[in-house]
Amino acid sequence: MTTVPDLPDAAEALEHFPFDDGHGIEVNERFRELRQREGLLRVRLAYGEPTWLVTRYADARLVLGDARFSRAMSVGRDYPRQEEATDLAGLITLDAPEHTRLRKLLVKALSRSRMEAQRPTVHAAADDLLSAAMDAGPGMDIVTDYVQPMTVRSICDLLGVPASDREAFASTSAALLPGSAVGAEDMQRRFDALRACIERLITERRARPRDDLMSALIQARDEEDWLTDTELVELVVSTMLARFEAIITQIPNCVYVLTRGDRALWNRLRANPAELPAAAEELMRYNASAGAGLFVRYAREDVNVGGTLVRAGEALTVAVESANHDPARFEDPDAIDFTRPPGGHLTFGHGAHHCVGAQLGRIDLQEGLRVLLTRAPELTVRDIRWRVRPHIRGPEAMRVTWQGD
């Protein structure tokens, strides 16, 4: 039965989402209640207009995968979000047919063989960084000393960025770290320098193509169609941001979960490294990393979602952390099970906007963890400072040492 709820009066306070301050990566108990009730809940984020909150797995797949729900309608609107900035750009803001065109060309450049060819490079970067940290002292901040530089190096290697031009990538990524004190003007200067660097790289690769992603993007064609320079720049920037945001959170979150308590999961992977790919998938499902406001859609027309009639022009926010813990889809969802059948989680999205670089994210996570498991078997988390009300949940800082308790 479809219900058409009476919307709260504008003056009435709506329940705020997220339901907690973002500390930790545990799934809020409120989601359990919402998955069991009929219909959707109307909520308000820190900024933007009210939104329907989607918490069940089936409803999440519908909203993320059905063309009746739009990402492009967010542009120019006061869309629901956790941060004050409202500017949106890049592939994620487009709908078909423009999104289809750009995504097809990007997929052609990001072939599976090209992505897998990155694995040794990512492993080497992680190995070098851990060696440097071990030489420097008894521990490190896994966010700033390991994950951030590892991600920058692997992105630059993938694109073919020469060593002389990597400072622009490092500077921008440093400014994006959780807890960064970089102001809006400084941030804009860093992004301007990054775009200028990418434009120079495009010019060089047009003249002298190489075996790298930038050359592949320039050469990717579909009949008479190709990427303009502006599209190339924005695709590179958005690819870098998506990869950075994902891995800067996932590796620390996974280390935290694996090493807490009796460390049984960490010790299991040390003893059975062949389980790492399956373990990484399960940890991405389990960890409540994807935060509020990342998966916003607008209804193009009236649509029934989970028993609620969502009107055309209304916003919906998908709570991926809740969908990934829906018992209607995952048996015993609050348990970590490395033998769980692979696939199904929505951490990388679903449908037309499923993350194009998902396999790269998997490689980063697997190799980043593999190096730690192999070379720092007694790694212990000593101190964590969690992000507060983030759009992606995870540590702002995480101090680890090589020795156990």
Rounded mean pLDDT, 220-233: 73
E-assigned strand segments in 32-79: 41-44, 51-54, 69-70
Residue 368 is which amino acid? G
pLDDT in tens, 203-224: 999 899 998 888 888 887 655 5
d(CA 384, CA 141) in angstroms, rounded, equals: 9
Rounded mean pLDDT, 24-32: 91
What is the band of 272 on the pLDDT scale with cuts at 50, 70, 90? very high
pLDDT in tens, 41-64: 999 998 999 999 999 999 999 999
Rounded mean pLDDT, 102-128: 89
d(CA 13, CA 42) in angstroms, rounded, equals: 11
- Bridge pairing between strands 69-70 and 296-299: antiparallel
**Reported pTM:** 0.90
Question: Is the pLDDT reported for residue 350 higher than 60?
Answer: yes
d(CA 318, CA 82) in angstroms, rounded, equals: 14
Give SS3 for 33. Answer: helix
More confident residue, 308 or 161: 308
Rounded mean pLDDT, 131-147: 95
Q: For residue 358, how many other CB atoms are within 10 A of its CB?
A: 17
d(CA 378, CA 134) in angstroms, rounded, equals: 13
Proportion of the chain in helix, strand, coil states, percent, rounded to 5: 50, 15, 40
Cα-based distances in Å from 174 to 241, 249, 387, 398:
12, 14, 16, 16
**What per-residue confidence (pLDDT) applies to 291?**
65
- Bridge pairing between strands 41-44 and 15-16: parallel
Rounded mean pLDDT, 231-247: 77
Question: Is the pLDDT reported for residue 202 higher than 50?
Answer: yes
d(CA 18, CA 39) in angstroms, rounded, equals: 18
d(CA 89, CA 195) in angstroms, rounded, equals: 14
- Bridge pairing between strands 395-401 and 139-141: antiparallel
What is the band of 9 on the pLDDT scale with cuts at 50, 70, 90? very low
- Bridge pairing between strands 221-222 and 139-141: unpaired
Question: Is the pLDDT reported for residue 227 higher than 90?
Answer: no
pLDDT in tens, 358-387: 888 899 999 999 999 999 999 999 999 998
**What per-residue confidence (pLDDT) applies to 393?**
84
Q: Which domains does the chain have, with CATH numbers?
A: 15-401 (1.10.630.10)
Rounded mean pLDDT, 225-247: 78
The phi and psi torsions of 21 (rounded to 5 degrees) equal: -85, 5
pLDDT in tens, 60-114: 999 999 999 999 999 889 999 887 775 656 777 888 888 888 888 888 888 888 8
d(CA 82, CA 47) in angstroms, rounded, equals: 6
Residue 254 per-residue DSSP state: H
What is the band of 24 on the pLDDT scale with cuts at 50, 70, 90? confident
Q: Are 281 and 345 in contact (CB under 8 A)?
A: yes
**What per-residue confidence (pLDDT) applies to 335?**
96
For 325-332, which contacts have Cβ atoms below 8 Å and span 24 or more sequence positions?
A: 325/27, 325/31, 325/286, 325/288, 326/35, 326/55, 326/56, 326/57, 326/58, 327/35, 328/35, 328/56, 328/57, 328/58, 329/57, 329/58, 330/57, 330/285
Question: Is the pLDDT reported for residue 325 higher than 90?
Answer: yes
Q: What percentage of the chain exceeds 70 in pLDDT? A: 92
Q: Which of 114, 128, 38, 44 lies closest to 79, judged by CA?
A: 44
- C-alpha angle with apex 177: 260 to 343, nearest 5 degrees? 55
Q: Which of 38-52, 145-159, 281-295 bottoms out in mean pLDDT, i.e. has the lowest?
A: 281-295
**What per-residue confidence (pLDDT) applies to 132?**
97
Q: For residue 122, how many other CB atoms are within 10 A of its CB?
A: 25
Give 368's contacts (C-beta < 8 A, 6+ positions apart).
122, 126, 146, 147, 150, 247, 251
Quick one: tokens of 229?
């320079």
**What per-residue confidence (pLDDT) applies to 3?**
52
Question: Is the pLDDT reported for residue 121 higher than 50?
Answer: yes
State the chain's mean pLDDT as an integer: 88
More confident residue, 90 or 127: 127
